[in-house]
Structure 1
């Protein structure tokens, strides 16, 4: 894993780095520490990452200024901050976890477990998915998303108004963040279950969902029983 720590206090940064190495060991490919938002933004633009550990107060600068950009990327973001009152907002933006300071190695290990095991979050409070559009970051309300289609390392967000947006996160990463609002009905599709109008059984053991929009999407054979039970 390629990991970036964004933390302005050197003592805390070294503690996070030490714990991260103790927990992840050989799974770490690179581990970098940066203490300013500007340098961190430049690093993000030029280096592939799997995980960012972000403080929300960096020498007086607001980490949320960077969070919008960070959550639009392919990697997961974990907040490590003393500002516990910002946790709800952070989850709304799409972070994987919020680790409050002061923290111990057990709590950090719990956060990393979500990354390595692809465990779904129990936070259904995510309200936005951030997408890059014409050089800017646009926040797409989750309530406006009808379904999500995997497109290689990226995903396509299909919206209620008929528009489509491209997201840098994989389908697997978005599935972690969006549970339980969305269900994986197929290897290539995440669907908002409240928008499923009908489940259709076709000949040849093929299955489909019909959405309220009139669109039809395939259901994977191994997922049919689970999807039907959750829809009913």
Structure 2
């Protein structure tokens, strides 16, 4: 998909990215845990944005894809810093974050940090607070002991090699939680969720809907769609959600 560009974040991490200039608001794709910017959804949205003459950014968090660092060293807070740095350095004016899975959590953190720049928000199988509500809440006593003694645990994945979940990721995640305090989203929000998703439950999507304060927030449940949410009809739904949030600009 062409050669990536890179920049150094204020924290000294080398962040790889692709961006295409165009009319705003900027569409910023935020990928999932251990995903990279070459994923189906990111590349699809980039092609759509280019065809529409719209500004678009996709990038790799540190420890992901072509960016510096290793996944095992990272945590939600690091990737939030990467997201803030990428948006600040590479985009101007209003943005529409499109967050997939962990990227949905990142999009919500971004919205809390810089609400004045958010034109609207789209999430796909958003996974806010998953380190606490998904991982820690379901760890066995043996896993919690391993986290203390070894510093990490291995979790199986339906999509790739096991995840190495560090003690730092769990502890840092508690500083990034968005479902424990008021979450004001003063812009259009569109959430997409598959009912066959084994990584993020529909209950998580409903909890986010119930918790957030937003005058224009809609959740679309898609029967039998899985966590990838990347077949032709799902990609079309993501495009439609972005168009909806754009509001006819």
The two structures have a TM-score, normalised by structure 2, of 0.28
Which has the larger share of strand?
1
The two structures have a TM-score, normalised by structure 1, of 0.30
Question: Which has the higher Rg, Structure 1 or Structure 2?
Answer: 1
Pick 1 or 2: higher relative contact order, CA cutoff 8 A, min separation 6: 2
